[in-house]
């Protein structure tokens, strides 16, 4: 046989053998999925709730108009430090001052009338005593004249005169006594009139005092909403009065943030928080939760859910107040802030990357278990469901219940293991049941985790992805 023929036959044999090998390799790797893995280890986990809001003083006061009038003077300036009782603003006080002056004059007049009535009572009581003395004197004279008349010592005319004087004194005493209740009534009338004038004076004085606005608390004038010469009106019914200014006590500063309704259940008073302020980039401040709202607030309108007249399924928030431990100087109310509240913290707990968690239906897992048992010629399943919660007894289809778990590498296959989880960190989550330290689990890729089936053969590739080096 010629050499070239031998070479041709050898080449054909090599090609056929290579094709067989390639085919065998492809067949062997047809169902193999390439995955990335990681070992289950112990981590320090911290659960954080992040919420945005604004800087607010713990104590502040909004000054609103308390009466009608024109602003005549504004004595405070924005940013100025004021003390409680300092005069901030004045309004026109001509009419209130005149009313107060008229009220004071009315009180003086009523007091004079009361004194006059009391003096009249004293005079009436003196007159009664005088008339009683006269009555007694005339009685004695009449009784003596009666004795003398019987003895014939005086004429009847003299006796009649004495009798007339006595009867007149009796009538005079009765008249004087009748004047005393009348006089006392006049005293009471004058006293009540004076009380009436005093009550009116309290009202007019209050109106006059309200023409001068004073600082209700110590703090800074954080905002002035009125101008000299403007007319202001008080609030009526559901309408608030003219807004004048705000006094803020910045000695205790808080960050009022709105927490999503899904996170509010984990917020408690006393939890530590880290606050950042947009106006102070690169700086962080510590604080503690001091108030947790109990009323949901509609995110679109800012109204409490109970104020809404129509049913709404929109997202809701809850107000949470975080008090800063050492607020910096120069903070202003209304600055945007973000609070990161630590709601849970654990050390040395089993943890896995959050993306390693997968969800499979109970039916998928049971089908995979049956297939694995059929291949092995027995009834033993390689799908671990020990940590899964049982199906709800009233469920319409228990086969559709979703089970949370991870894929564990065992004998070159990805075995689905149901797990129970605890707190979540930023990238990791606690495993409370189902895994042990050192277990190798599938962490990627996202496509592989989404489509991976239990008991699937896998190929581990933990090499770092190639970074693109393209330049323009």
Q: Which residues contact 108 (CB under 8 A, 6 or more apart)?
A: none
The pLDDT score that the predictor gives to residue 312 is 61
Q: 439 by DSSP, 3-state: which?
A: coil
Pick the CATH number of 33-42+350-460 from 3.40.50.1820, 2.30.40.10, 2.30.110.10, 2.40.420.20: 2.40.420.20
Q: Does domain 93-210 have CATH number 1.10.287.470?
A: yes
pLDDT of residue 453: 86
Contact yes or no for 162/138 (Cβ under 8 A) = yes
* Terminal alpha carbon distance of the chain: 62
Task: Provide the H-helix boundaries in 312-392.
Answer: 362-376
pLDDT at position 319: 94
Residue 22's pLDDT is 52
Give me the DSSP letters along 8-24. HHHHHHHHHHHHHHHHH
CA pair distance 388, 362, nearest whole angstrom? 10
Average confidence (pLDDT) per 10 residues, the chain, 472 residues? 61 62 48 87 91 93 88 92 93 90 90 87 85 85 80 81 85 84 87 90 90 92 90 78 89 93 92 94 94 87 66 80 91 93 92 91 81 63 52 49 90 90 90 91 87 87 65 44
Which segments of the chain belong to CATH 2.40.30.170? 51-60+248-345
Q: Transcribe 381-409 into DSSP letters.
A: ---B-TTSPPPPTT-S-GGG-EEEEEEEE
CA distance 407 to 440: 9
The segment(s) of the chain belonging to CATH 1.10.287.470 are: 93-210
Task: Considering the chain, tell me which residue range(s) the CATH 2.40.420.20 domain(s) occupy.
Answer: 33-42+350-460
- pTM tops 0.85: no
- Right CATH for 51-60+248-345 from 3.30.460.80, 2.40.30.170, 3.40.50.300, 2.10.240.10: 2.40.30.170
């Amino acid at each position: 046989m010629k050499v070239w023929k031998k070479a041709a036959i050898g080449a054909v044999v090599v090609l056929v053998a290579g094709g067989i090998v390639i085919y065998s390799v492809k067949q062997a790797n047809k169902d193999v999925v390439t995955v990335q893995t990681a070992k289950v280890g112990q981590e320090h986990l911290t659960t954080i709730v992040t919420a945005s809001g604004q800087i607010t003083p713990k104590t502040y006061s909004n000054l609103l108009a308390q009466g009608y009038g024109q602003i005549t003077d504004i004595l405070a300036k924005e940013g100025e430090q004021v003390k409680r009782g300092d005069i901030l603003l004045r309004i026109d006080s001509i009419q209130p001052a005149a009313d107060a002056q008229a009220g004071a004059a009315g009180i003086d007049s009523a007091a004079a009338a009361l004194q006059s009535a009391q003096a009249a009572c004293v005079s009436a009581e003196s007159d009664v005593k005088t008339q009683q003395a006269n009555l007694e004197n005339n009685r004695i004279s009449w009784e003596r004249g009666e004795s003398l008349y019987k003895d014939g010592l005086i004429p009847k005319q003299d006796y009649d005169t004495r009798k007339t004087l006595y009867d007149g004194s009796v009538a005079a005493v009765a008249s004087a006594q009748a004047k005393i209740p009348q006089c006392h009534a006049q005293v009471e009338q004058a006293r009540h009139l004076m009380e009436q004038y005093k009550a009116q004076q309290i009202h007019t004085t209050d109106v006059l005092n309200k023409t001068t606005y004073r600082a209700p608390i110590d703090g800074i004038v954080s905002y002035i909403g009125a101008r000299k010469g403007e007319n202001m009106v008080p609030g009526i019914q559901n309408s608030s009065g003219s807004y004048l200014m705000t006094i803020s006590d910045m000695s205790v500063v808080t960050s009022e943030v709105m927490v999503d309704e899904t996170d509010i259940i984990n917020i408690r008073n006393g939890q530590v928080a880290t606050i950042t302020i947009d106006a102070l980039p690169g700086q962080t401040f510590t604080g503690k939760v001091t108030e947790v709202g109990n009323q949901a607030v509609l995110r679109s309108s800012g109204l409490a859910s109970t104020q809404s007249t129509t049913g709404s399924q929109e997202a809701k928030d809850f107000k949470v107040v975080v008090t800063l431990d050492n607020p910096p100087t120069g903070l202003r109310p209304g600055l945007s802030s973000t609070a990161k509240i630590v709601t849970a913290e654990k050390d040395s707990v089993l943890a896995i990357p959050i993306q390693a968690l997968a969800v499979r239906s109970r039916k998928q897992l049971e089908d995979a278990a049956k297939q694995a048992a059929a291949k092995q010629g027995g009834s033993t399943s390689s799908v671990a469901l020990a940590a899964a919660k049982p199906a709800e007894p009233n469920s319409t289809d228990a086969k559709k219940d979703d089970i949370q778990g991870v894929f564990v590498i065992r004998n070159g296959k990805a075995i689905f293991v149901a797990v129970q989880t605890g707190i979540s960190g930023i990238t990791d989550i606690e495993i409370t049941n189902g895994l042990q330290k050192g277990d190798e689990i599938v962490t990627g890729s996202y496509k592989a985790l989404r489509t991976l089936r239990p008991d699937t053969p896998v190929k581990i590739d933990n090499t770092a992805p190639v970074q693109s080096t393209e330049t323009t």
